[in-house]
Amino acid sequence: MRRIVIAGNWKMHKTQADSLAFLNGFLPQLETTPEQREVILCSPFTALTSLSKTLHGSRAMVGAQNIHWETSGAYTGEVSGEMLTELGVRYVIVGHSERRQYFGETDKTVNLRLKAAQASGLTPILCVGETKEQRDAGETETHVVGQIEKALAGVDQSKLIIAYEPIWAIGTGDTCASDEANRVCWLIRSQLANKDVPIQYGGSVKPGNVDEIMAQPDIDGALVGGASLEAETFARIVNYVS
């Protein structure tokens, strides 16, 4: 049985106070969440400590949004795996398209960050996905398969989550049709040595489309941006109807 993993990516949203207010509304709604669903909240670095303390012993776990590949050194502005695990962080997003687009993340640095995350005991959530131009040119498959190959060179597939996030569907309200998302998730799985790696879909996941997305056979979860910022909305997604 493959794991089901629903993660919220808060991106650059929420102070510590905002995070705690969110949890007040969110945690009680996890009481009815089926046990086999993993629930993760990926906050900015500054809220990780508060999240970790408040979530201790609860159903939800804490994730970060980036990690540096070195264990320490002169890397101003960066954070190491040990710094994250010390706070109780268990997961980390790696290679999000916003980091690739705005912060010069490459397939090479994604690969280094994945290995560093695993070396420090974190489970990385590797993000891949194509642009609108690539999709329109019929290059989705070759692009995504290329990203997967380069990212996973030398990476342990037993401690890994992958998120397929078509860039044109992120923050646009323009969801990828669930059968199209499923087809790409299936393709990703076909490239993996470990067929049990959970593969999430991300891109405008909302209460109104989550049930249909999660009904797809090769989609094992969701990576949710905007709709993870509000407790009621994210709880509805986590408690999707299967």
Ligand X SMILES: O=C(CO)COP(=O)(O)O
Under rule CB under 6 A, residue 198 binds ligand X: no
| 3-class secondary-structure state, position 63 | strand
Under rule CB under 6 A, residue 64 binds ligand X: no
On whether 104 is known to bind a ligand per the annotation, the reply is no
Q: Which of 161, 170, 213, 237 binds ligand X (CB under 6 A)?
A: 170
Query: Is 68 labeled as catalytic in the residue annotation?
Result: no
Whether the Cβ atoms of residue 60 and residue 24 lie closer than 8 Å to each other: no
Closest residue by beta carbon to ligand X:
225
Given the complex with ligand X, which of 4 and 224 has the nearer CB atom? 224
On whether 53 is known to bind a ligand per the annotation, the reply is no
Q: What is the secondary structure of 161-199 as a DSSP string?
A: EEEE--GGGTTSS-PPPHHHHHHHHHHHHHT-S-TTS-E
Give the CA distances from residue 94 to residues 35, 116, 152, in Å, rounded to whole numbers and listed in that order.
Answer: 26, 11, 12
Under rule CB under 6 A, residue 166 binds ligand X: no
Helical H segments across the chain, by residue range? 16-26, 48-55, 81-85, 97-102, 107-119, 132-136, 140-151, 178-190, 207-214, 231-238
Region binding ligand X by CB under 6 A among candidate stretches 14-22, 25-33, 54-62, 203-211: 203-211
Given the complex with ligand X, which of 81 and 95 has the nearer CB atom? 95
Under rule CB under 6 A, residue 200 binds ligand X: no
Instruction: Name the catalytic one among 38, 96, 98, 130.
Output: 96
Instruction: Name the catalytic one among 38, 98, 105, 165.
Output: 165
Query: Is 165 labeled as catalytic in the residue annotation?
Result: yes
Q: Which residues contact 5 (CB under 8 A, 6 or more apart)?
A: 37, 38, 40, 161, 198, 200, 220, 221
Q: Which of 9, 19, 54, 123 binds ligand X (CB under 6 A)?
A: 9
Residues serving a catalytic function are 96, 165
**Site residues (CB under 6 A) for ligand X?**
9, 96, 165, 170-171, 202-205, 223-227
